[in-house]
Amino acid sequence: MYGKTRAGIGLPSLCDAEGILLVRPGLEDAALEGRLFGVCNQAAVATTAALTGAWTGLCVSNPSASGKNMILHEFGFSQTVAASADGAVGIMTCTIAAPASNVTIYNQKLGGASSSMIADDGATIVGGVLQRVFGAIGTLAVTGYGTGSLFAYKAGGSIVIPPGYTIGTYTTKATTASLIFYFVWEELAV
């Protein structure tokens, strides 16, 4: 039995002693090959309401000339203190006229190549579209409803951000600096 790589090269499959096909679970291959990246706010950030043009949170832009597709694998957030408003948290897609690199992206293979993407914590968005809503944030104290542990959404490659587009965080209402966000993605040639 033979399998093919993304480049179309035929390689024999590997089986264990009982003949069961061996595969690596999850994103191990992408990490080992240096094409898995992540970004995280390094401190809690304030957010703007909904699809506001002058937006804040965390976003990852795929530059028009990158030659790569950004395959989203995971998104997460945590509320660190009581928020200034109750509301929902999600992710949106949009375009950004002039993305800036304000947040450092890390290759998940430490010491690996740099990402082709650009991460930012504030920008002017155009044509925002809400893609997913995940959970709620709240105004109560740490022991009350609305503040909890980390929420992680396993996208599993279900959202692809082609060159020229951006994926970013979304909150229904503006908040003070109470949320930390992260994204994990794979970069593959278009």
Beta bridge partners of 71: 160, 186
Residues present in the chain in total: 190
pLDDT digit string (tens) for 57-90? Answer: 999 999 999 999 999 999 999 888 877 778 889 9
- What pLDDT score does 140 carry? 67
Q: Check pLDDT > 70 for residue 1.
A: no
- What pLDDT score does 172 carry? 92
Which pTM value belongs to this model? 0.84
- What pLDDT score does 111 carry? 95
Q: How far is CA 104 from CA 49, 85, 113, 139, in A?
A: 24, 28, 13, 29
Higher pLDDT, 97 or 162: 162
- What pLDDT score does 190 carry? 95
Nearest to 59 by CA among 44, 75, 43: 75
d(CA 45, CA 90): 15
d(CA 23, CA 25): 6
d(CA 77, CA 59): 13
Q: Check pLDDT > 70 for residue 141.
A: no
Question: Percentage of residues in the chain with pLDDT exceeding 70?
Answer: 91
The predicted model gives 99-111 an average pLDDT of 95
